Amino acid sequence: MRASIIFPFLAAMSTAFAGLDEPLDALKKTYGEIVETSTYRPDLFATSYKFKSDDATIEATVLPDVVTQIDVFFAEEPSATVELLLERYSGRGNWTIRPLTDPDFARQYPFFSTKDSRNKFFVAAGAFALVQRDVAGQKIVLRMQSATYLHSLEAYRREKKEGK
């Protein structure tokens, strides 16, 4: 009896949050209204949208019509494990830690150090995450992106360069 009550609750919890490869409207339904829109260097970076939750700041990048990157900033140490946080904010389960020497780390996060012990690399089906601790005044930063993010960003930059 107890398992029949707990399982639906856990299943609902994992689908309660919008994440990668979903339209921006799904994030609005989860996190409420956008509190800030960033158009920093529109020639290099697509517009990102900032949301606030009780314990985090969430920034989402939409390329071309779905969220392909989500950054989550925690000023205080969350009580959940990193894997649960990744699942919650990405909408993907089964995150596994991989070494920073993994070729996917260098490919997905080329500007981040493989020698910095504050960096951890995680992989899930069709998604990657860089988890950083104690950077930029934040306790934890989750930098999650879909497997299509870099390709979509490259296409976006090409279109901007061509004036589309």
Residue 117 lies in a domain: yes
Does residue 1 sit within a domain? Answer: no
Report the domain count for the chain.
1
* pLDDT tens digits, one per residue of 13-56: 444 468 999 999 999 999 999 999 998 888 888 899 999 988 99
Tens place of pLDDT for every residue, the chain, 164 residues?
Answer: 444 444 333 433 444 468 999 999 999 999 999 999 998 888 888 899 999 988 999 999 999 899 999 999 999 999 999 999 999 999 999 999 999 999 999 999 999 999 999 999 999 999 999 999 999 899 999 999 999 999 999 999 999 888 86
Residue at 151 is within a domain: yes
Model pTM? Answer: 0.87
Answer whether residue 7 is part of any domain: no
For residues 152 and 64, the answer to whether their CB atoms sit within 8 Å is yes
Q: Which of 47, 38, 20, 30 is nearest to 143 (CA)?
A: 20
Would you say residue 63 lies in a domain? Answer: yes
Q: What is the span of the domain harbouring residue 99?
A: 17-161
CA dist 20 → 43, 103, 132, 138, 160 (Å) = 23, 22, 19, 22, 23
Query: Does residue 112 form part of some domain?
Result: yes
Q: Is residue 5 part of a domain?
A: no
